[in-house]
Amino acid sequence: MKMYDVVIIGGGPAGSIAAIQLRNSGYSVKVIEKLKFPRFVIGESLLPRCNELLEEVGMLNIVEDAGFQLKGGVTFENEENNRKVIHFTENLGQKHNSSFQVRREIFDKLLFDNAEKLGASMSMETEVIAFDENKNIVTVVNSKGEEEKYQAKKVIDASGYGRVLPRLLNLETHSSLSSRRAIFCRVQNDSRDTDGTDGYITVYVVGDNDAWIWNIPLSSTETSVGIVCSEEYFQSFDGDETGFWNHVVENNSHAKVRYANATKINDVGMIGGYSSDVTTMFGANFVLVGNATEFLDPIFSSGVTLALESGVKAANLIIEEFKGKEVDWKCEYEDYMMIGINVFREYVNAWYDGRLQTILFSDKLTADKIERKVVSVLSGYVWDESQMFVHSPKEALERIYHLLK
């Protein structure tokens, strides 16, 4: 049986960035990935906080050189022609004020390959099927169908929607968020705004907040277009996902103009029931990172940011532990991660009940300190406890809503 300092389940952004950071400190790492990369996964719009994390592990230059579409902010538009543009430059002074729109098949492979370049042992087409928590042994089935075992001082579960350890150790619990669906595909030749926001993610509110559409430009000609709605809203439409996607895009006042001459470049895909939660993020010898912990909702493009944040944080704490420091995983990891997750949770709730749209579309929200605080959150800076939206997100949103409505 092979032994490693750390075995990582899953080679998405959370797993690969943890592997990179552990290799930066010279620890032996095995990454076990079920699929063959490059593989498609949804989640293409990053936040500026990602750049800071990529910089911390020495990956920012490599990502910058990969030629991804630059992302300078977010535009929100509803069907009453209210429009709010969030420029990441108008943050609270944080260094990184832009990010990238990425084809995840390319972005994830870039991180995966760089973990390998740095000396991590990477296996693809190998699935983790069991975990012995007492002996810290991971059992896998490799690409030839053979069973292998790996022992590690620490196991990181970065298996995303696979949720390997939550399932095997019975750590899964229901998300507090309602179940929603996303129906998406990529198109080419859409017509974009020409006011400098062409690289921004644009969110169109559908009807009276019945659904919303993400518009993520992946290059000057290709765009990812996804519709997010409740299960009930989707079920109320009598048709399949392609019919639903066509119907919503053809009937939304903004989308129908933008995509009038666009053509689909792949089939319409669908994912549902993705919000999830766990009873704990760690155990004596394992830690959960990325989507294997709690996944909220796609509205603020926070998933990859939280995946990178948790991957780097877990790796840094493991390194400290290996060096002999006693780590309080509850306080230093889980509680820390929950600060950021709870900020996004409040924003997600306020988006779906309409309060955040009232705030964003208010004439009174201008580039002053309140707006800068909102921009800072929407940039992924959700651990800056000196600002009200981070230390008391629920109260802050409620106060601003009553002030601006």
Please give the full DSSP string across 105-119, using - where no structure is assigned: HHHHHHHHHHHHHTT
Strands 286-288, 180-188: parallel, antiparallel or unpaired by DSSP? unpaired
Q: Tell me how far, at minimum, the Cβ of 157 lies from ligand FAD, in Å.
A: 9
Q: Which of 43, 166, 217, 340 contacts ligand FAD by CB under 6 A?
A: 43
Q: How far apart are CA 102 and CA 308, in angstroms?
A: 14
- State the nearest-atom distance from the C-beta of 177 to ligand FAD, in Å: 12
Structure-block tokens of residue 86: 């969030």
| Stretch of residues binding ligand FAD (CB under 6 A), selected from 29-37, 114-122, 203-211, 246-254 | 29-37
Min CB(28)–ligand FAD separation in Å:
18
Whichever of 9 and 396 has its CB closer to ligand FAD, that residue is 9
Question: How big is the chain, counted in residues?
Answer: 405
User: Please, what is the minimum distance in Å from the beta carbon of residue 224 to ligand FAD?
Assistant: 8
* Paired tokens of 156: 């990181």
Per CB under 6 A, which of residues 170..199 are in contact with ligand FAD?
182
- When the beta carbons of 87 and 104 are compared against ligand FAD, the nearer one is 104
- From residue 249, give the alpha-carbon distance in Å to each of 184, 199, 253: 11, 20, 9
Q: Stretches 156-164, 205-213, 236-244, 352-360: which one binds ligand FAD (CB under 6 A)?
A: 156-164
Using the rule CB under 6 A, is 161 a contact of ligand FAD? yes
With CB under 6 A as the contact rule, the residue among 6, 7, 8, 9 that binds ligand FAD is: 9
Maximum pairwise Cα distance, the chain: 64
* Cα→Cα distances 37→53, 86, 113, 301, 305, Å: 23, 34, 10, 23, 21
List 187's β-bridge partners, or say none.
223, 264
Residues β-bridged to residue 226: 184, 214
User: Closest approach of Cβ 105 to ligand FAD, in Å?
Assistant: 10
Q: By CB under 6 A, is residue 223 in contact with ligand FAD? A: no
Asked if 44 touches ligand FAD (CB under 6 A), the answer is yes
Stretch that binds ligand FAD, among 157-165, 257-265, 317-325, 393-401 (CB under 6 A): 157-165
Q: What is the rounded CA–CA span in Å between residue 330 and residue 366?
A: 39
Question: Any contact of residue 215 with ligand FAD (CB under 6 A)?
Answer: no
Distance CA 104, CA 203 (A): 20
379 and 48 in contact (C-beta within 8 Å)?
yes
In sequence order, the β-bridge partners of residue 141 are 127, 147
Query: Please, which residue, 187 or 400, has the CB nearer to ligand FAD?
Result: 187
Cis check for the bond before 166: say yes or no (omega within 30 of 0). Answer: no
Q: Please give the residues from 282 up to 311 whose contact with ligand FAD meets the rule CB under 6 A.
A: 290-291, 295, 298, 301, 303-305, 307
d(CA 73, CA 247): 28
Q: Which is nearer to ligand FAD, 244 or 400 (CB)?
A: 244
Pairing mode, strands 180-188 and 269-272? antiparallel
Strand 277-278 with 121-123, pairing: unpaired
Count residues binding ligand FAD (CB under 6 A). 37
Residue 141 as a binder of ligand FAD (CB under 6 A): the answer is no
Residues 89 and 362: their CA atoms lie apart, in Å, by: 20
Interacting residue with ligand FAD among 32, 120, 213, 360 (CB under 6 A): 32
Helix (H) or strand (E) holding 46: none
> Which of 107, 274, 344, 351 forms a contact with ligand FAD (CB under 6 A)?
274
- Letters for 46-85 (x = contact with ligand FAD by CB under 6 A, - = none) are x---------------------------------------
Q: Rounded to 5 degrees, what angle do the CA atoms 56, 72, 57 make?
A: 10
Closest to ligand FAD by CB, 85 or 218: 218
Supply the minimum distance, in Å, between the C-beta of residue 126 and ligand FAD.
7
Binding site for ligand FAD (CB under 6 A): 9-15, 32-35, 41-46, 127-128, 158-162, 164, 182, 271, 274, 290-291, 295, 298, 301, 303-305, 307
